[in-house]
């Protein structure tokens, strides 16, 4: 679709070398890690919030869709352009504006990479807790858009829990400010947390004030093997019920362990494994570790390793880091969707997925963030096998239906985007979806911000 001449004239004059309609730029910004792809009409690279305001107002006037983009590491298609759209890349808005160590917060632009932020905070003895698997290469803006999490979320929370304030441009082209450099606020509606996780459908975030945490003095790890998923889930419940919160608590199912052994990892035969991380002060860590070890012990425990020095901890976590690459040894095709269930229902989720794997003649591997009940379900298939590909695609809705039936939800950290959009009507009733649509209309009256994402069409 060709853009209106008024848009091209106005935005090329506004952005100069930050306005691209060439094939190379459009191709480079046509997809994300969901493997979906569509060409935008143009790509805009603003440097200032004023330019973002001007872009939104110009596109609203001509009803041209806008799709915000960070680093393109998302897995649900949320950053895939819609027909005739302008992609707004925040790659040039990547500055740290202010580190306020005394207030334990930092003010940043959305294009800043998570890894670059963590490096800059080291000298201050602080860190920003969200740590998705793509942390070194994903952008803060992308983390905000999807409410990204990671292993540390069990103790420190996901992105939404670590944002204090935002500056954003609504779909009406208005600059709004919400929250600030404070941790307590009872003034009006909580727009900050509303915008986090909205996947660019309500406003374009141009500045964020992030809550920081002190970097722990010491860390230690535990690796616990269990007879079955039920025993591991019972241990997760014990771990989360006692006063010491683990810094990380990861689950790997039986198929995960089989795969790791097949690829040479040092893991015994077991029905499930928990990886547990403890952090704290040098003096307090031994007591923390003892409390976590006592909670992890119980019926069904087969073996448990403890590691306190860096090399030993790395060895314990090597299996978790090796798992994603090992999946490729089974099949080159992978559908990776994260779902969430109550911790007590993890055994039911794993059992249901195993039954689905048998029913569909597929290899399906479950692992993820046990302390939050947030598991990643990986459906593996060979793309050159049409029948197997069809079975994998047919199995995906059954995974979502299973998670919802267990009292869970569609996503804990990947978001909805395109891949789960059509299942939102299963997850929410009509009145709730209409309330969400009303919020969308209020902030984006022309419906130009990332259309076709998150919310299903009204029936």
Say whether both 84 and 104 belong to one domain: no
Structural domain contains residue 12: yes
Structural domain contains residue 290: yes
Say whether both 172 and 232 belong to one domain: no
CATH code of residue 432: 3.30.70.2740
- Per-residue pLDDT, 263: 85
Say whether both 81 and 163 belong to one domain: no
Summarize the confidence of residues 437-454 as an average pLDDT: 98
Residue 258 has pLDDT above 70, yes or no: yes
- Per-residue pLDDT, 312: 85
pTM of the model: 0.95
Q: Write down which residue in 303, 326, 349 finishes a domain.
A: 326
Distance (Å, rounded) from C-alpha 318 to C-alpha 312?
10
- Number of other CB atoms surrounding residue 22 within 10 Å: 10
| Average of per-residue pLDDT values in the chain | 95
Range of the structural domain that residue 193 is part of: 96-214
The two tokens of residue 398 are 């059954």
Q: Write down which residue in 40, 67, 89 finishes a domain.
A: 89
- Per-residue pLDDT, 286: 94
Summarize the confidence of residues 340-360 as an average pLDDT: 94
- Per-residue pLDDT, 43: 98
- Per-residue pLDDT, 1: 66
pLDDT tier for residue 70 given thresholds of 50, 70 and 90 = very high
- Per-residue pLDDT, 108: 98
Distance (Å, rounded) from C-alpha 281 to C-alpha 26?
49
- Per-residue pLDDT, 406: 97
Q: Write down which residue in 181, 214, 247 finishes a domain.
A: 214
Residue range 287-307, pLDDT digits in tens: 999 999 999 999 999 999 999
Structural domain contains residue 454: no
Residue range 156-201, pLDDT digits in tens: 999 999 999 999 999 999 999 999 999 999 999 999 999 999 999 9
Distance (Å, rounded) from C-alpha 44 to C-alpha 50?
13
pLDDT tier for residue 392 given thresholds of 50, 70 and 90 = very high
Residue range 93-135, pLDDT digits in tens: 999 999 999 999 999 999 999 999 999 999 999 999 999 989 8
Percentage of residues of the chain with pLDDT beyond 70: 100
DSSP string, 217-283: SEEEEEEEEESSHHHHHHHHHHHHHSSSPPSEEEEEEHHHHHHHHHTT----S-SEEEEEEEEE-TT
Q: Which helix (H) or strand (E) holds 295?
A: helix 285-296
Least-confidence region, from 32-46, 136-150, 210-224, 255-269: 255-269
Name the 3-class secondary structure at 434: helix
In angstroms, the Cα distances linking 298 to 23, 346, 453 are 60, 17, 45
- Per-residue pLDDT, 324: 81
- Per-residue pLDDT, 215: 97
């Amino acid at each position: 679709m060709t853009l209106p001449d008024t848009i091209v004239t106005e935005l090329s004059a506004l952005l100069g070398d930050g306005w691209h309609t060439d094939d190379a730029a459009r191709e480079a910004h046509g997809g994300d890690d969901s493997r979906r792809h569509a060409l935008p009409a143009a790509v805009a690279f603003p440097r200032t919030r004023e330019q973002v305001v001007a872009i939104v107002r110009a596109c609203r006037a001509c009803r041209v869709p806008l799709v915000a983009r960070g680093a393109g590491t998302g897995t649900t298609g949320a950053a895939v352009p819609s027909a005739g759209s302008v992609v707004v890349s925040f790659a040039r808005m990547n500055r740290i504006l202010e580190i306020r160590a005394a207030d334990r917060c930092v003010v940043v632009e959305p294009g800043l990479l998570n890894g670059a932020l963590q490096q800059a905070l080291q000298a201050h003895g602080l860190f920003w807790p969200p740590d998705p698997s793509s942390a070194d290469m994903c952008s803060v803006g992308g983390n905000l858009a999807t409410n990204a999490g990671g292993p540390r979320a069990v103790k420190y929370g996901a992105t939404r829990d670590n944002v204090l304030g935002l500056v954003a441009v609504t779909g009406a082209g208005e600059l709004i400010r919400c929250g600030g450099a404070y941790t307590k606020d009872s003034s009006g509606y909580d727009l900050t947390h509303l915008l986090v996780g909205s996947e660019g459908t309500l406003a374009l975030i141009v500045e964020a004030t992030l809550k920081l945490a002190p970097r722990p003095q010491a860390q230690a790890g535990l690796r616990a093997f269990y007879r079955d998923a039920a025993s591991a889930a019972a241990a997760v419940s014990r771990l989360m019920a006692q006063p010491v919160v683990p810094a990380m608590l990861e689950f790997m199912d039986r198929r995960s362990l089989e795969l790791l052994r097949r690829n040479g990892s040092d893991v015994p035969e077991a029905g499930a494994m928990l990886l547990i991380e403890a952090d704290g002060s040098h003096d307090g860590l031994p007591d923390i570790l003892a409390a976590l070890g006592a909670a992890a012990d119980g019926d069904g425990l087969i073996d448990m390793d403890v590691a306190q020095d860096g090399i030993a901890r790395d060895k314990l976590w090597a299996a978790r880091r090796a798992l994603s690459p090992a999946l490729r040894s089974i099949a080159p095709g992978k559908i990776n969707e994260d779902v969430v269930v109550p911790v007590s229902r993890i055994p039911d989720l794993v059992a249901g997925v195993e039954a689905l794997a048998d029913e569909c003649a597929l290899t399906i591997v479950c692992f993820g963030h046990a302390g939050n009940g947030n598991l990643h379900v990986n459906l593996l298939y060979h793309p050159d096998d049409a029948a197997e590909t069809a079975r994998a695609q047919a199995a995906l809705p059954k995974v979502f239906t299973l998670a919802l039936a267990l009292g869970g939800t569609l996503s804990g950290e990947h978001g909805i985007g395109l891949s789960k959009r059509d299942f939102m009507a299963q997850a929410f009733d009509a009145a709730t979806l209409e309330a969400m649509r009303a919020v969308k209309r209020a902030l984006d009256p022309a419906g130009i911000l990332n259309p076709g994402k998150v919310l299903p069409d009204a029936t």
